[in-house]
């Protein structure tokens, strides 16, 4: 048994944040990894997908001067760039003072508190003891077996970047972020693409107006989007993918299954412990505590986050809770979402459902700015885009904002700051944006709110009092 201050299981975005954070504070950390350092983000997620999106959008696609088809050259370039970063991380992480990288599969041991058993490739078992054990084992793609579809034609994010050529006709099953991003990129490279989703729309967790704009944009480019259906059977000799509504998609040569992700909790030895595990992952408090003293969980293995920046934000809270247990944790981080589709979709704030539950319609204002009305969209030939802000009436508190359009993932930073610091639309109204930018649509939204509010302050104030005061009084009673 070797002693450390903490054992971190998993060297993905979450585990790396915690391990590097603790090591930077002088703690000795054993970082256990059963696969590749960098986890999903570096190897099968953010990095290869964003490289693919970038290369697909370049006017001068990479070529090696040979007769390799364009799509195959792009995929090879994606792998090269991904591997370069993976190699760098594999060298840099074990070199961080205080981190010992332990290669093998970890199990939280039943032999005593804070003991983790690591089985190496050669079958040897090493026990590591520490007062803190952090589970950061991530998630894996959810499976959806399709009758008749051979394994080699069924792709996930773990295999799609390993393809040697582009599909002629790709069906993406699943309308979430992973599916839509890859659908847009592969289509841009010249493949035919059909998206099949069980939901009523693609990106169904997003605002309905935003998803309608995105759907119109991708359809206008030639991506076939079919909603409210699931695949039922694949007919190999015709390449027909039959759907639950009786229709079929013809001439399919590969299917990307992107129907969500399952937390990696099995085999971790949690069964005997008082840890709650649901289909969304390990239940934790706001700082990653599982309820078992000294046992923490963070990243995709929890219900709190499904993104690298979320894993980073919550990972920093775990570091603080371990290193400075008496320091107040502060409010939960405001974590924006970003989908790197074409156009991008980004949002921040409360869930649509929570807003509808807590603010009656009479207590809020919805401002929608058609992005094509800003001059930058005119100069750049942008045909689809919208900025939607849901705000509390009278006070202008931003409840949620969604942006569909170029660089939405960057513009959302302004609103994230506003939501986090409670900067109202009244104050955003005074913010000066450079001209011509997409972010100036946020200024237009603030202008519109002011136009609807300032001339009618008594009416707006009375409406706010009627709808919000009872709620606030109830809270303080």
Site residues (vs ligand FAD, CB under 6 A): 9-15, 32-35, 39-41, 45-46, 49-50, 105-106, 136-138, 157, 178, 264, 268, 299-301, 306-309, 311, 340
Shortest CB 336 distance to ligand FAD, Å: 10
For residue 173, count other CB atoms closer than 10 A to its CB. Answer: 24
| Residue (239 or 406) nearer to ligand FAD, CB | 406
Shortest CB 80 distance to ligand FAD, Å: 18
Shortest CB 171 distance to ligand FAD, Å: 17
| Residue (39 or 349) nearer to ligand FAD, CB | 39
| Residue (207 or 300) nearer to ligand FAD, CB | 300
CA distance 379 to 372: 10
By the 8 A CB rule, do 342 and 323 touch? no
CA distance 437 to 374: 8
For residue 280, count other CB atoms closer than 10 A to its CB. Answer: 14
Shortest CB 47 distance to ligand FAD, Å: 8
By DSSP bridging, strand 337-339 and strand 344-349 are antiparallel
| Residue (173 or 311) nearer to ligand FAD, CB | 311
Distances (CA, A) of 194 to 34, 147, 172, 280: 35, 19, 6, 28
CA distance 301 to 298: 6
| Residue (61 or 260) nearer to ligand FAD, CB | 260
Shortest CB 310 distance to ligand FAD, Å: 7
Give residue for tokens 């709190």.
Answer: 304
By the 8 A CB rule, do 10 and 299 touch? yes
Angle 167-169-173 from CA coordinates, rounded to 5°: 100
| Residue (299 or 396) nearer to ligand FAD, CB | 299
| Residue (27 or 264) nearer to ligand FAD, CB | 264
239 φψ region: left (φ > 0), alpha (ψ -120 to 50), beta (else): left
| Residue (148 or 260) nearer to ligand FAD, CB | 260
Shortest CB 256 distance to ligand FAD, Å: 10
Query: Across the chain, which distance is largest between two alpha carbons, in Å?
Result: 75
Shortest CB 215 distance to ligand FAD, Å: 20
By the 8 A CB rule, do 56 and 62 touch? no
Which distant-in-sequence residues (6+ apart) come within 8 Å of 318 by Cβ? 18, 134, 287, 288, 296, 298
Per DSSP, 174 falls in state: -
| Residue (340 or 359) nearer to ligand FAD, CB | 340
Shortest CB 193 distance to ligand FAD, Å: 15
Shortest CB 424 distance to ligand FAD, Å: 28
Distance from the Cα of residue 422 to its chain's centroid: 24
| Residue 142 φ then ψ, to 5° | -70, 145
Token digits of residue 49: 């997908």
């Amino acid at each position: 048994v070797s002693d450390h201050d903490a054992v971190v299981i998993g060297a993905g975005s979450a585990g790396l944040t915690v391990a590097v954070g603790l090591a930077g504070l002088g703690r000795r950390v054993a970082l256990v990894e059963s696969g590749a350092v960098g986890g999903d983000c570096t190897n099968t997620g953010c990095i290869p997908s964003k490289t693919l999106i970038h290369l697909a959008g370049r006017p001068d696609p990479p070529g090696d001067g040979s007769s390799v088809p364009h799509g195959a050259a792009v995929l090879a370039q994606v792998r090269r760039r991904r591997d370069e970063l993976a190699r760098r991380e594999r060298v840099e992480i074990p070199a961080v003072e205080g981190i010992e990288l332990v290669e093998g599969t970890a199990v939280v041991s039943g032999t005593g508190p804070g003991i983790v058993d690591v089985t190496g490739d050669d079958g040897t078992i090493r026990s590591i003891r520490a007062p803190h054990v952090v589970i950061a084992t991530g998630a894996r793609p959810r499976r959806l077996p399709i009758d008749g579809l051979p394994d080699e034609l069924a792709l996930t994010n773990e295999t799609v970047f390993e393809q040697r050529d582009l599909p002629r006709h790709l069906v993406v099953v699943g309308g979430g972020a992973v599916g839509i991003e890859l659908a847009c990129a592969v289509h841009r490279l010249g493949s035919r693409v059909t998206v099949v989703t069980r939901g009523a729309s693609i990106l169904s967790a997003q605002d309905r107006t935003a998803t309608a704009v995105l759907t119109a944009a991708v359809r206008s480019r030639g991506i076939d989007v079919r909603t409210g259906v699931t695949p039922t059977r694949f007919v190999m000799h015709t390449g027909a993918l039959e759907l639950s509504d009786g229709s079929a998609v013809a001439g399919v040569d590969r299917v990307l299954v992107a129907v969500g992700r399952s937390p990696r909790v099995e085999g971790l030895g949690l069964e005997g412990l008082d840890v709650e595990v649901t289909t969304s992952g390990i239940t934790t408090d706001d700082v990653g505590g599982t309820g078992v003293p000294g046992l923490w969980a963070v990243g995709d293995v929890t219900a709190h986050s499904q993104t690298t920046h979320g894993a980073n934000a919550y990972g920093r809270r775990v570091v603080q809770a371990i290193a400075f247990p008496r320091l107040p944790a502060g409010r939960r981080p405001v974590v924006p979402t970003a989908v790197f589709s074409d156009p991008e979709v980004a949002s921040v704030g409360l869930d649509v459902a929570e807003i509808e539950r807590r603010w009656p319609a009479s207590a809020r204002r919805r401002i929608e700015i058609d992005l094509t009305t800003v001059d930058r969209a005119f100069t750049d030939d942008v045909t689809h885009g919208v900025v939607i802000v849901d705000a509390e009436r009278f006070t202008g508190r931003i409840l949620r904002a969604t942006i569909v359009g170029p660089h939405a993932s960057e513009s959302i930073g302004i609103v994230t700051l506003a939501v986090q610091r409670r900067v109202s639309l009244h104050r955003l109204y005074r913010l000066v944006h450079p001209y011509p930018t997409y972010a100036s649509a946020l200024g237009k939204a603030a202008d519109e709110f002011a136009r609807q509010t300032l001339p009618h302050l008594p009416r707006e104030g009375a409406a706010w009092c009627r709808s919000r005061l009872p709620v606030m009084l109830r809270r303080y009673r």
